[in-house]
Amino acid sequence: MSDSDNKEVSSEETKGENEEENKAETKEAGQTEEKEQDSSQAETNANTNADQATESSESKKPEKKGSKIGKKLGKKDSKVFKEEFSEVVETSEEPNPDALPENVFPLFMTSKTQEIYNCKCDEDVTEENPFKFIPKSDILEDMKMRAAVCDFHPFKQQILDYPGEDVLIVYDYDFKHGQNFIVALTEEAKELLLKAPEGEEGEGGEDGAEEEEDDTVYLYVPPEPKDWVSLGSEKEIEESNVKELRRKLKVSVKRLRREFGAPVSFADRNVTDVKDGAVDCTSYDDNSFNIKRIELDKAVQAISEQVTEGTQTDWKYPRNANTQTYPREYTEDEQAALLATKECGDFVLEVAFEFHQALQQNEIMNVFYVDWIHLGDGDDVFGSKADNHLKEYQSFTDLQFSKDKMITCIQWHPTIKGVVATSVAEKLSFDQRIDNAAKVIMTPSLILIWSFADPIHPQLILESPDDIFSFAFNPTDPNHIVGGCLNGQIVMWDIAAHADRLKQQRGSNRNKKRTVLPGFEDPNALKTPIVRYCAVSSIEHSHKAAVTDIQWLPDHMQINKMGVPQENASLQCTQLLSCATDHCVMLWDTKASKLQHTAMYDEKRKTQQPSGVADTFKHLDLTWKPILRVTLSKSEPGGDHAPTKFSIQERQGDRHALTSGTEHREADVTQTMQGGFHKPSSGKERTLQGVKTYIYVGTEDGEIVYVDWMPQKDQDTGKIQSKLFLLDMFYETSKSFLIMAGVFPPNLKHHKLDIFII
């Protein structure tokens, strides 16, 4: 049997060969050890295949190597098999769908066999219906008939032992288990196969059916109680339990009977005699109360008050109610009757008078007519009410020269009516000038002379080296103009050459009365002539800051080097005063000094004057020095006064100083402090006695000071310097203002000053 087994086995697997050898060797010793072995036994008996090997190999592999001896033949009791199988069941119970349940073996059935048992593939048994029950007797017969050729031969013993009548054959369509059929060799296996055909069938062919069935069948597996693992909690319980560890003790306390109620005598005992005589219960800090509860966890729950209230309202709904009235009326008869009564008649006559009065009153005049409201009604007819403010009459702008510039000074021409001169300067602050220095230098600084007849083109343009901030016409010779520059220089112009231009008034520029021959036209005829300055003061000796005010001295006086006002015989304005913010008032003379005069002739310096420039003041050019300089120093330290405007008492055209001087001569002695003097006249010029030598100066700080231009000999120091007086009365009010203009009224008596403060 074993040989035949071996043959069959060996034809299929090499593994079987090995096992056969083992079987041959350990045939005898196998029986006792079969029990120890598990499914390896079954394998050796049956046709082994890969699948089965997987099943059993899981449990068997480790044993295989070391258990050559263990492998035994399979001829043993079915009981043993069963035991082994049961072991197999226990150990390899993994629900491996591919693994065959126990006692189920793959079986190959040849076509002949299939014919015999009527279980041809795809005929009797199909994928869908893979089960076939073959009677046991048939198998046995077949085995007898064909012996080893029978497919069932390997299972012969099992078939013999098979308890049931029919053996279940399951068609294994996919050869899942290695062969085309599976045979169940025990009842349990049969049941299993039948019970769970879905899994196998699905594996065999119908996957879909298997899945469905898996989804729907949920078997409740109650949890199995596991062994209790101690984690130590029972010790706590043991500790808290009260156990009797020992027997209870009994103590009996007795006292002598005769001592009950016996008299006792007490004695005193000193505390200190005995140790422990007194027991102190001192107070001690119990730390348990030391812990301050600083943080409390508290919770508050608030619920809203709920009140149930009810009210009952009277619903007074508005109702529309209408009343319609009819006036009571009398019938005509009633009326007539009433009117006819005496009372009525009397009444009417009585009140008639009142009415007449009232009506007449109303006729005469309307007492409620308000005159005030209608006051100006009559004037509305002819235009608006009179303008009290200035209306611009004419404006003079030159697009080229005066655009975007500010006008720093404006003066009337002394003699020619309708001619004004304005000085224009750049609208830049000091810092801006520095920033734009290059540009500022290039743009020419001008004085524009306008005629009212021509508001577009200036009649004349005077050019100056720097922006002019104040200038003045010479009252006696209007062709001389002096101006004070931004840099402190004094500039002179002589416009004698163009004087007749100014005299022409009406549209003279364009309509030349003289006919001009073509070809000989002067292209510059229509252009405004530009006059260059003819003299500038010496830079060193000029002001060091911008000249804020410049005035010609009246023609009847002149001031000499000592500040003495003298009579000016020529009655021409030759001297001028200028003040600047460098705290100085300077007196200039336009006449050539003797020295200069001679120098010029001696050296014969006929330096070329630039064309078009008069040489009237050539002697002054670049060397002009002031005759007199009056510094406005403050008595307290902190800078000197910076004058913005000044005014002297003497007026151009007011000649009375010339005449009044003689009268005051005797009274001079007492007038030293007032600016008079008693210096005897020297030289051919007559000194003017009555002239007050004060200059009233308004300063940048808002103060008004007056200074005597004539330096007095200082009593204390012996120095000759000008005295400066401060007009205290103005100090407080004008402290924050800048004096812009001051006019000295020609009133000798009072030190009255009209001051315009801005």
Q: Which residues are near other proteins by CB under 8 A?
A: 327-330, 335-336, 338-345, 347-352, 354-356, 358-360, 362-363, 365-366, 368-369
Is the Cβ of residue 349 or residue 390 nearer to other proteins in the bound state?
349
Report the distance separating Cα 421 and Cα 451, nearest Å: 9
Is the Cβ of residue 330 or residue 412 nearer to other proteins in the bound state?
330
Report the distance separating Cα 3 and Cα 17, nearest Å: 11
Cβ of residue 452: shortest distance to other proteins, in angstroms?
54
Is the Cβ of residue 332 or residue 431 nearer to other proteins in the bound state?
332
Is the Cβ of residue 298 or residue 342 nearer to other proteins in the bound state?
342
Query: Which is it for strands 530-532 and 460-464: parallel, antiparallel or unpaired?
Result: parallel
**110 φ, ψ (degrees, to nearest 5):** -70, 165
Task: Say which residue the tokens 């005069």 belong to.
Answer: 597
Is the Cβ of residue 129 or residue 341 nearer to other proteins in the bound state?
341
Contact between 516 and 499 (Cβ < 8 Å): no
Cβ of residue 743: shortest distance to other proteins, in angstroms?
58
Cβ of residue 356: shortest distance to other proteins, in angstroms?
7
Q: Which positions ≥6 away from 561 have C-beta within 8 Å?
A: 627, 628
Cβ of residue 376: shortest distance to other proteins, in angstroms?
20
With both helix axes pointing from N to C terminus, report the angle between 342-364 and 332-340 in degrees, rounded to the nearest 10.
90
Is the Cβ of residue 149 or residue 351 nearer to other proteins in the bound state?
351
Is the Cβ of residue 219 or residue 349 nearer to other proteins in the bound state?
349
Report the distance separating Cα 699 and Cα 737, nearest Å: 9
| SS3 assignment, position 184 | strand
Cβ of residue 361: shortest distance to other proteins, in angstroms?
9
The CA-atom distances, in angstroms, between 319 and each of 315, 434, 756 are 12, 91, 81
Is the Cβ of residue 290 or residue 366 nearer to other proteins in the bound state?
366
Cβ of residue 340: shortest distance to other proteins, in angstroms?
5
Is the Cβ of residue 237 or residue 349 nearer to other proteins in the bound state?
349
Cβ of residue 758: shortest distance to other proteins, in angstroms?
54
Q: Which positions ≥6 away from 54 have C-beta within 8 Å?
A: 98, 99
Is the Cβ of residue 347 or residue 412 nearer to other proteins in the bound state?
347
Residue by residue, what is the 3-state secondary structure of 594-636? HHHHHHHHHHCCCCCCCCCCCCCCCCCCCCECEEEEEECCCCC
Residue by residue, what is the 3-state secondary structure of 636-659? CCCCCCCEEEEEECCCCCCCHHHH
Cβ of residue 310: shortest distance to other proteins, in angstroms?
48
Q: Which positions ≥6 away from 278 have C-beta within 8 Å?
A: 271
Is the Cβ of residue 358 or residue 673 nearer to other proteins in the bound state?
358
Segments in 405-540 forming alpha helices (H): 430-435, 437-442, 499-503
Report the distance separating Cα 2 and Cα 74, nearest Å: 8
Cβ of residue 371: shortest distance to other proteins, in angstroms?
12
Chain centre to alpha carbon of residue 197? 79
Cβ of residue 379: shortest distance to other proteins, in angstroms?
21
Stated as kind and residue range, the H or E segment containing 107 is strand 104-107
The CA-atom distances, in angstroms, between 17 and each of 4, 44, 50, 108 are 12, 10, 14, 19
Cβ of residue 359: shortest distance to other proteins, in angstroms?
4
